[in-house]
Structure 1
Amino acid sequence: MTQLPLRAQLASALGRTAATLSRATGRGDGSVIGGRVGLVLEPDLLRKLARDRRLALVSATNGKTTTTRLITSALQELGDVATNAFGANMPAGHVSALSSAKDAPYGVLEVDEKYLPEVIETTGAGVVVLMNLSRDQMDRAAEIWLLAQKWRRALVARNTHVIANADDPLVAWGASTAARVTWVSVGQPWKEDSWCCPECGGPLDRGGMDYVPPGGHAPGVAVRQADGGVPAAPGSPAGPGGPGGGLAENDWACRECSFRRPAPSWFLDGDTVVDPRGQRWPLDIRLPGRANRANAVVALATAEAFGLPVQRALPRLAEVTSVAGRYTTVEREGRQARLLLAKNPAGWLEAFDVLDPALPVILSVNAQGPDGRDTSWLWDVDYRVLRGRPVYVTGERRLDLALRLDVAEVPFQLTESFGHALAVQPPGKVDVIANYTAFQQIRSEFGRAV
């Protein structure tokens, strides 16, 4: 790699020192402070550190930390990889990650959705991974349609290879201006933020619907009889003979313009990934749930963009068992607690997918700055899946969550702290779902297990 200018070398070295001191004094993992120090001394440090590396930027509302970890694991087959493993996904975190592995020829950086255009411009990354967009931190995050629009503008006239989820209409729209796109079909279980066409504003017809949107029927969408609804009548938009009747699972199309789902070349099919040549590969990974199988498909498509074939990348994915504490099982006095992170409605849907229905569950919700102060999103989550199991509620905003559960007719026990909630469990296993700062507090109690 090209030698850094002297000023950049000094800024990088002092940033690493600050990060080391932060870890040594127990103030944090150093993944932010080191970058901040470096950027104060050399504002263009990120551009200089990114030069001559093959970089992938990973952005999404949910799953970007896990997917970043999976891609990193795969690319280690090719050589050293710089990455922001603990999720510091703004420029200071990127500087710290690249500085701490200054000789690594590859880099995989998780990027906050709002910062993606800036980071693309600064780093000139050759690969950009776009997975999903949904509501998050409602009091301070931009409207997600505006985020997709910013992605579109950032990718115009760039020699960038985009790996994008074709099943998410907002992602497809945001990626459609890129010069080269590899479309991946991994599903979109949370559809409540994409009923309207981002191109013209018209209604989208969706294939493979398997649940009713909160509050009733989505326009033109059939309702499952198992959910108490009735199937769409023949000739209706979602029934046989209507505009939506020919849509396969995960497919979507606008009724009023030509915008529709692009043809994917990678597919998630149950526990199998289908590559662009039609070959099927069993997804033998150790991270649980459908969402992580989807993340693995995206990781394999990204690895191939770097020239790494599936047969070499797939074994590397199986080595990942935990990601920054997610899915880790911690133990205290005979109680084994599995930690799950859920920051927004889409994330709760994914967490519910991996719950063990035979186990009690502890729910913890805060509303600090990194979480977003507005907890109204709790009303967008369907908590009825928790009926029939012991539920314990804690966290700084436990009363908000308690009211939501009461309305959903989910019995629960209110507890003062996570420690108390865990202490009242019988010896054995328990699942824990927490939002961001609540999750980090729990991790800290157990030494920030990774």
Structure 2
Amino acid sequence: MAGNVEPLSPRAKLAVTAGRAAAAVSRVAGRGSGSVIGGKVALRLDPDLLARLARHLDVVLVSATNGKTTTTRLIAEALRANGGVVSNALGANMPAGITSALAGGSESQYGVIEVDEKYLAGVAVDVAPKAIALLNLSRDQLDRAGETRMLAEKWREGLSGSKAIIIANADDPLVVWAASGSPNVVWVAAGQEWKDDAWSCPSCGGVMQRPGDDWFCAECGFRRPTPSWALSGDHVLDPNGTAWPIHLQLPGRANKANATSSAAVAAAFGVSPQVALERMYSVAAVAGRYDVVSYQGRDIRLLLAKNPAGWLETFSLIDPPPGPVILAVNARGADGTDTSWLWDVDFSRLAGHPIALIGDRRLDLAVRLEVAGVDFQVYESAEEAVRMCPPGRIEAIANYTSFQDLRRVVGN
């Protein structure tokens, strides 16, 4: 249980007030929620503010390349069974955004915080979390993110002295390597569809062997640990072997895996799997993801996919042809400006669907689909692409900033 709320120092109070004012100005100017600029202003005035704001909270940190926003939301819903929760639910996951989120949670018991992979170790030092959930590591934002093995090593070094319970995906060798230096690890068999970032052993560099769902390095003996929690079909298996049904409004195997990790985290705070999973059903969409919106007489389902691992999972949600699919890709700062990752995505899985390409880098997409032998049409705007689709259901898959652009167009 976290301690009682201590009053903030005058300096900290000034920092919080100034941050809120900066955020309000940003919102009035139409530049988004203002959480990032507000946090930056607050931290400039009080560099220790994040640690001060987290002092009274039982904190959970969630980090991964894929799934952290959704898992953060699921954990937050589960922990609300026990008390108030403050969370950066909209995904501002660097120190400034986290600071803004915690500034609004003075009466909360729990802090459920999504953290960008590169900032995890530093944030963990600041907020002294009770639990840390590690879901996966895969290539992302190639122009500025470190190579995945290097990122795993930073996690391993940064978390080795942490007293937190580490809830880690046993099916991702990079996550296992990162978590193995920690003294208190709960292993979860959450699965790993995308394997192309973990064919070499993170411990010795040898070639990883992957028979079935298992994995091991024949050269150094590094291998998959035995999980105590597991996703099994439509159920979560707890450490006692009891199967708890998963009922989610969120689609797909990946979200069942997120729910499994979330149930393991909730259990560390005394919330039973039954209660945790029942509460997760209330989550129908996450920051616009999975929403179905009506626009121009069509029902458009909005799906976010930012890297090869995410696109692979998203393709599994698409019904067989002939339904139309809109693909949107930008390469702005928040996306990463390198689009070479498109060549790692198996777009042939969309063959047979009418495909519409939009976004700043629609021509990069067009070249990739042409090589994949998939038919497509290129459009200048989302409005035009939707208008050219027949009435009915449309699946729209977009990376980060193109997803935001699309939400603004369709009114979500």
| TM-score bucket (shorter structure) | over 0.9
Query: Is 1:177–2:184 an aligned residue pair?
Result: no
Q: Give the RMSD, CA atoms, in angstroms.
A: 1.0
One-letter identity of the residue aligned with 1:258 = G
Distance 2:221 2:389 in 1: 55
Question: What SS class does the counterpart of residue 26 from structure 1 fall into?
Answer: coil
CA contact (8 A) 1:341 1:436 kept: yes
Query: Is 1:187–2:191 an aligned residue pair?
Result: yes
How many residue pairs align between the two structures?
Answer: 407
The corresponding residue for 1:407 is 371
The corresponding residue for 2:399 is 435
The structure 1 residue matched to 2:109, chosen from 100, 105, 112, is 105
Query: Is 1:271–2:234 an aligned residue pair?
Result: yes
Distance 1:70 1:24 in 2: 30
Q: Give the TM-score normalised by structure 2.
A: 0.97
One-letter identity of the residue aligned with 2:329 = V
The corresponding residue for 1:6 is 10
The corresponding residue for 2:211 is 207
Distance 1:10 1:444 in 2: 34
Could you list the runs of 4 or more consecutive aligned residues of structure 1 that deviate by over 4 angstroms after TM superposition? none
CA contact (8 A) 1:166 1:263 kept: yes
CA contact (8 A) 1:156 1:178 kept: yes
Distance 2:342 2:161 in 1: 40
Shift of 1:385: 0.8
The corresponding residue for 1:333 is 296
Shift of 1:270: 1.2
Shift of 1:84: 0.6
CA contact (8 A) 1:57 1:110 kept: yes
Distance 2:343 2:54 in 1: 42
Q: Is 123-132 or 165-174 further displaced after alignment?
A: 123-132
The corresponding residue for 1:94 is 98
CA contact (8 A) 1:31 1:86 kept: no
Shift of 1:121: 1.0
CA contact (8 A) 1:16 1:100 kept: no
Shift of 1:9: 1.4
Shift of 1:333: 2.2
One-letter identity of the residue aligned with 1:442 = L
Shift of 1:13: 2.1
The corresponding residue for 2:158 is 154
Q: Is 421-430 or 53-62 further displaced after alignment?
A: 421-430
The structure 1 residue matched to 2:352, chosen from 380, 384, 388, is 388
Shift of 1:76: 1.0
Question: What SS class does the counterpart of residue 354 from structure 1 fall into?
Answer: coil
One-letter identity of the residue aligned with 1:95 = T
Shift of 1:331: 1.2
The corresponding residue for 2:316 is 353
Shift of 1:5: 1.2
Distance 2:91 2:149 in 1: 24
Distance 2:167 2:408 in 1: 34
Question: What SS class does the counterpart of residue 103 from structure 2 fall into?
Answer: helix
The corresponding residue for 1:378 is 342
The corresponding residue for 2:254 is 291
Shift of 1:19: 2.1
Shift of 1:18: 2.4
CA contact (8 A) 1:366 1:396 kept: yes
One-letter identity of the residue aligned with 2:401 = T
Question: What SS class does the counterpart of residue 19 from structure 1 fall into?
Answer: helix
The structure 1 residue matched to 2:40, chosen from 32, 36, 59, is 36
The corresponding residue for 1:397 is 361
Q: How does 1:108-123 map to 2 (within 5 A)?
A: 108-123=112-127
The corresponding residue for 1:445 is 409
Distance 1:315 1:31 in 2: 31
Distance 1:159 1:388 in 2: 51
Q: Give the TM-score normalised by structure 1.
A: 0.89
Structure 1 unmatched ranges of 5 or more: 209-248
The corresponding residue for 1:218 is none
Distance 1:260 1:183 in 2: 13
